[in-house]
Amino acid sequence: MMRTLVVVCGLALAGCADMMGGAIGGRAPAAVAELVNASGQKIGVASFSDEAGKVRIVVDATGLTPGKHGIHIHAVAKCDPPGFTTAGGHYNPLGRKHGLESPEGAHAGDLPNLEADQTGKSHYETTTDRVTLREGLSSVFDGDGSALVIHEKEDDQKTDATGNSGGRVACGVIVKR
């Protein structure tokens, strides 16, 4: 009888863990990316959290040029300065076109523009349902991982493949927290 009770309790806890994001106590998947500039200096941090089936992204960065900047999740967890080309292209596991305004888009890694104030600081918050922190086709933790990249210019949200957002000015590898 005791053995049956232990098995039933264990199954109930496992079911609760699955309903609460895969962890007992309700901890949903989370991640972080430390952003560096072309000189390799840390200029900010991005946090990623799972909220009701979407990923919430919060970025705090300094040292940017004032104005709007394209920001995207890129396909490879590698950020070698100065050009950050090792991060690959925009994360696009479904093979879509670029841009939040594209009728054939968007890439899974496409995000709204980030804006830096006159001092070069930015606080950015957005959510996306095109990626996940869990396992699956659109997981940022696929075989080669992912990186968050800030570009030098505003993303026009429609031109394939990069939105005319220019070079890469900051990059951070997305790691589980």
Any domain includes 87: yes
Any domain includes 103: yes
pLDDT at residue 15, as a whole number: 41
Any domain includes 102: yes
Per DSSP, the three-state class of 168 is strand
In this predicted structure, the answer to whether residue 59 has a pLDDT above a threshold of 80 is yes
Element (H, E) at 6: helix 2-19
Dihedral sign from CA coordinates of 157, 129, 75, 123 = positive
Residue type, 12: A
> Rounded distance, CA 56 to CA 67, Å?
22
Q: Are 28 and 154 in contact (CB under 8 A)?
A: no
Any domain includes 16: no
Check residue 13 and report its DSSP letter: H
pLDDT at residue 27, as a whole number: 66
In this predicted structure, the answer to whether residue 51 has a pLDDT above a threshold of 80 is yes
Any domain includes 18: no
Beta bridge partners of 170: 37, 150
Determine which of 7-21, 44-58, 121-135 has the lowest per-residue pLDDT on average. 7-21
Number of domains comprising the chain: 1
CA atoms within 13 A on the CB side of 65: 11
The more confident residue out of 142 and 26 is 142
In this predicted structure, the answer to whether residue 16 has a pLDDT above a threshold of 70 is no
Residue 176: how many CB atoms within 10 A of its CB?
A: 12
Any domain includes 22: no
pLDDT for 117-171, tens place per residue? 999 999 999 999 999 999 988 999 999 999 999 999 999 888 777 778 889 999 9
Any domain includes 14: no
pLDDT for 89-122, tens place per residue? 999 998 888 888 888 878 889 999 999 999 999 9
> Rounded distance, CA 89 to CA 95, Å?
12
> What is the domain extent for residue 129?
28-176
Any domain includes 124: yes
Q: Which CATH number do you get for residue 95? A: 2.60.40.200
Beta bridge partners of 115: 68
